[in-house]
């Protein structure tokens, strides 16, 4: 079976959307519809997928915002979880971010995924994440 990590392309978008929609609450139905097109088009976005036999099994994206990179998405298909795929994809994004000159990779993470990140050496930063909602719920 061929397993590879490769950059995501526009042709992959339908499979990535399907993957993101398979996880309850992951795909923002009220968000902008072209979020993946924008990511894949952007030179500052690192968008990679894990492919097995031409099937998208996992997807991760991060934005290079200068001195740090911001991980915006990570998802592994349910049947492929706990096989080390999320770990390898994140390590790939970490290496790519570092080689571009980013000294930190940051993310707001789902509470039930905190243990996953900590097992990969992630820690809580000395800052507090705040938000301002720009549209009403
Ligand atoms: C979180 C997620 C990406 C993990 O991917 P995965 O491929 O199943 O994880 P891996 O198999 O690479 O696990 C790597 C390590 O993390 C551990 N781990 C995995 N999920 C974990 C969890 N939820 N809590 C604690 N540890 C976890 C594994 O045991 C493994 O540890 P090891 O290296 O000591 O064996 C995947 O479960 C997922 O897509 N979840 C739904 C979406 C999500 O939560 N995304 C992150 C949003 S911020």
Q: How confident is the model over 37-63, as pLDDT tens digits?
A: 999 999 999 999 999 999 999 999 999
Asked if residue 125 belongs to a domain, the reply is no
The answer to whether 74 and 86 have CB atoms below 8 angstroms apart is yes
Cα-based torsion angle of the residue sequence 78, 16, 100, 68 in order, rounded to the nearest 10 degrees:
-70
Question: For position 135, what pLDDT does the model report?
Answer: 84
What CATH number is given to the structural domain containing 47?
A: 3.40.630.30
21 pLDDT above the threshold of 80: yes
Residue ID of nearest Cα to ligand 1 atom 5: 86
Pocket of ligand 1 (CB under 6 A): 23, 74-76, 81-87, 109-110, 112-113, 115-116, 119
Distance 73 CA to ligand 1 centre (A): 13
Report pLDDT for 123. 98
**Cα 135 to middle of ligand 1, angstroms:** 31
Residue 100: domain span:
3-119
Do the domain assignments include residue 88?
yes
Whether 115 maps to a domain, the answer reads yes
Domain count for the chain: 1
Q: Are strands 45-52 and 55-64 parallel, antiparallel or unpaired?
A: antiparallel
Q: Global pTM?
A: 0.95
């Amino acid at each position: 079976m061929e397993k590879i990590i490769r950059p995501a392309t526009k042709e992959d978008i339908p499979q990535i959307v399907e993957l993101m929609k398979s996880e309850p609450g992951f795909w923002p139905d009220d968000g902008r519809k072209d979020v993946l097109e924008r990511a894949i088009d952007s030179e500052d976005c690192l968008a990679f997928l894990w492919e097995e036999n031409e099937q998208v099994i996992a997807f991760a994206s991060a934005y290079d915002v200068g001195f740090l990179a911001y991980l915006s998405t990570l998802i592994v298909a349910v049947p492929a979880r706990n096989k080390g795929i999320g770990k390898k994809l994140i390590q790939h994004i970490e290496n790519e971010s570092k080689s571009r000159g980013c000294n930190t990779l940051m993310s707001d993470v789902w509470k039930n995924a905190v243990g996953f990140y900590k097992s990969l050496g992630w820690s809580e930063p000395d800052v507090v994440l705040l938000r301002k909602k720009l549209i009403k719920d």
